[in-house]
Structure 1
Amino acid sequence: MTATPESAPASASASAPTVVRTADYHTAGEPFRIVDTLDTFSGGLPPAPGDTVAERCATAIGPGGSGTAPRRGALDDVRRLLVQEPRGHAGMYGGFVVPPDDDGAHFGVLFWHKDGYSTACGHGTMALGAWAVDTGRVPAPADGDVPVRIDVPSGRVGATVHRAGGRTTGVTFRNVPARTSARKVPVATTLGLAEVDIAHAGACYASVAARDLGLEVTRACLPSLARAGVEIRAALATHPGTWHPGGPLLSGVYGVIFYEELPDTPFGPHQRNVTVFADGQIDRSPCGSGTSARLALLAEDGRLGAGDDLLHESVTGTVFTGRVASATPAGLVTEVTGAAYRTGEHTFTVDPYDALGTGFLL
């Protein structure tokens, strides 16, 4: 295995605080670890410099301008502490809760994963909506719906938390507008030639029919899907369809979605997918922002009419339901509904004599 800057053990003198508290959720099987930097009880967390969430994200990514910048400051040591072994794992996902851009949102968030930061995260937005209600940050009735407004690096998104009998029964994620930018882009892989569709939905996604590469969306095919995802992401690095008018922060392929068709339901299309992100990591959920990207493509193909739903399955069998809510000049406003569940609370510590420090990745 080729070592990366984060594969080696970190020094015990790293600038991560000695105590970090988290609330952990999963949305359709994909983990989301929440660190509330605004909670004084958390104490000692480094600041996230910037006047807006987008600026804070750009600062966190660092001058390298990509998720692989080797050094990003003190707050990034907290990310590494929580995502790396022995406290995390390569598939861990999470977010730092930060101030919103203005009073129109309840809070902001910086999404992070193994290799750095992302500009959008639908499953994380759903988890944050449930967390905001669970903790009382956003008051909610025993029955009914409550909107939670969240500023993310790609803009302002919403999480409508559905309540019944005093508990959260589901969350609907309303994304920033989604739009297609390129269709049927030929990309050579070691498994053959793929035709790739590109869409932006808070982040840039490349969609590929798994059968084009002789694959299925199954657990058995995950190693091949992950390898092909890394190849396709690299091949599209300079493709103009991956560029976003919002600038470099929103440009470049974040995830590669491999999908397969299933029989339509009475309500609309039915697909199974797996999203490969970062350096070959697998999304356990159907991918919230990726579902928005799929909705934009299906609508353009005429397969998703008014009132239709996309039943979107993950490789683990969990489900999101997606729909187009409205059309704007910037793109389609989409809604994705799923369920998020609390899995625990953690108080992570760093022993000053621990030579592994913030940990390692294999």
Structure 2
Amino acid sequence: MHVHMWNDSLELLLVHAQGEIGKVIVSGAPEIPGATILDKMNHINSVDDSLRRFVTFEPRAHVAMTVNLLLPPTRPDADAAFIVLQADKAHPMSGSNCICVVTALLESGRVKMVEPETVVKLDTAAGLITARAHCKHGRCLSVSLDNVPAFVLQLDQAVKTPKWGTIRADIAFGGVFYALVDVQQIGLSIVPDNARALAEAGIEIKALLKQQVTVAHPEIAGLDEIAYVMFRDHDADGAVRTCTTLKPGRVDRSPCGTGSSANLAVLHARGLVKTGDSRISRSIIGGTFRAEMIGEAAVGNLKAVLPRITGEAWVYGREELRIDSVDPFVKGFALSDTWGPQVGELDG
């Protein structure tokens, strides 16, 4: 598959979940080889990343956004499938993007909306995701995701850093692997003015983790890296303040569904939540998701929690991306003035 074999254009719906942009490719994308969505994601990551680069880099994209590739499901119990395309790679799952995808499917009529609740089942590289959309007057008011089981690999993992000495991180899975770091350890607070400093710290810690910590999902081959560092703090009202950092150097605008799921597993492992309990996750700009523990499970020989994440997304437009094989920037580019000093890592 090369660029000239694509259709002439891609159609995307423009969607955001609590300020985090999660565009959805609804038509025009090429066939991606693979029997499962995991196979297809691995194909994008290891064989042909031309579509991902086309839609996630300048001049067609900017740093603070994600593009979701909508696909037919590969399993009979799913309504649709998607892969999360970001500037560093294709990822298996994202809560905010899942909320964007469900909202786009329902409000565009691609999945029939049933009021007051529509159940949508999504085939992802991390497993089957069941979403319940609260709908009224043709609008998707909120989406609750029953995420894949979340579990802890290590509490208080020591990480040696040149800048902050030895810090502690909880290593947990919530759809992808996270390192959850109490933000006080790096001398910052989670406020908008610190977004750049938090982003750069998170990317620096992620690189150190790669050298010092090995992870592997007990049941899913290929899920073997810490995808994100999420800083956390506690607000006075009991909410968890979250700040997920993404390559090459930005922060999640949303409260982060998979990160909130991973943190729920940590809270359970520490005896702080039980089935039926919930926590509000609040983002750097004040948006909120609700993370609820709806049950217990096991992944391999590890204890796990079943997380339900509830949030809201808005469809704010549509766009068509035209593909021209003689475009000199068909592979895209990224510059450090907006993408941050670690921009070179995107080709690493």
TM-score (ref. length: structure 2) = 0.89
Q: CA separation of 1:333/1:214 partners in 2, compared to 1, >3 Å: closer, same or farther?
A: same
Q: Distance in 2 between matches of 1:290 and 1:167?
A: 27
1:32 to 14, 17, 22: 22
* 1:237 paired to 2:221: no
The alignment partner of 2:222 has SS state of: helix
CA positional deviation for 1:46: 2.2
Matches of 1:201 and 1:353 in 2, distance apart?
Answer: 41
The equivalent residue for 2:42 is 58
Partner of 1:9: none
1:311: which partner in 2? 280
Q: State the AA in 1 paired with 2:58.
A: E
Using the alignment, how far apart are the partners of 2:110 and 2:10 within structure 1?
A: 20
1:173 aligns with 2:127: no
Distance 1:209 1:23, change over 3 A: same
C-alpha separation in 1, matches of 2:21 and 2:4: 25
RMSD value, Cα: 2.0
Aligned equivalent of 1:136: 109
Q: Which residue of 2 aligns with 1:152?
A: 124
How many angstroms does 1:305 deviate by?
3.4
For residue 343 of structure 1, what is the aligned residue in structure 2?
Answer: 316
Q: 1:194 to 1:105 in 2, by over 3 A?
A: same
Q: What residue is the counterpart of 2:79 in the other structure?
A: 106
* Residue 284 (1) aligns with residue 257 (2): no
Aligned residues: 329
Contact conserved, 2:55 with 2:61, CA < 8 A, in 1? yes
Q: Aligned partners of 1:88, 1:56: CA distance in 2, in Å?
A: 22
Q: Secondary structure of 2:32's match? A: coil
Tell me the SS of whatever aligns to 2:263: helix
SS of residue in 2 equivalent to 1:292? helix
Alignment of 1:1-362 (within 5 A): 17-36=7-26, 42-43=27-28, 45-62=29-46, 72-73=47-48, 76-141=49-114, 143-192=115-164, 193-237=166-210, 239=212, 242-264=215-237, 269-330=238-299, 331-362=304-335
Change over 3 Å in CA distance of 1:163–1:13 after alignment to 2: closer
What secondary structure does 2:265 align onto? helix
* Larger deviation, residues 188-197 vs 313-322: 188-197
Cα deviation, residue 13, structure 1: 7.4
Pair 1:108–1:352, CA change in 2 (3 A): closer
Q: In structure 2, what is the Cα distance between the partners aligned to 1:336 and 1:253?
A: 21
- TM-score of the pair, normalised by structure 1: 0.85
Opposite residue 163 of structure 2, the aligned amino acid is L
CA distance in 1, matches of 2:157, 2:177: 14
Percent of matched pairs sharing the same residue: 28
**Aligned AA (1:342):** V
Distance in 1 between residues matched to 2:191 and 2:65, nearest whole Å? 21
Note the residue ranges of structure 1 that are not aligned, 5 or more in a row: 1-11, 37-41, 63-71
**Alignment check: 8 A CA contact 2:107 2:138 kept:** no
Shift of 1:225: 1.4
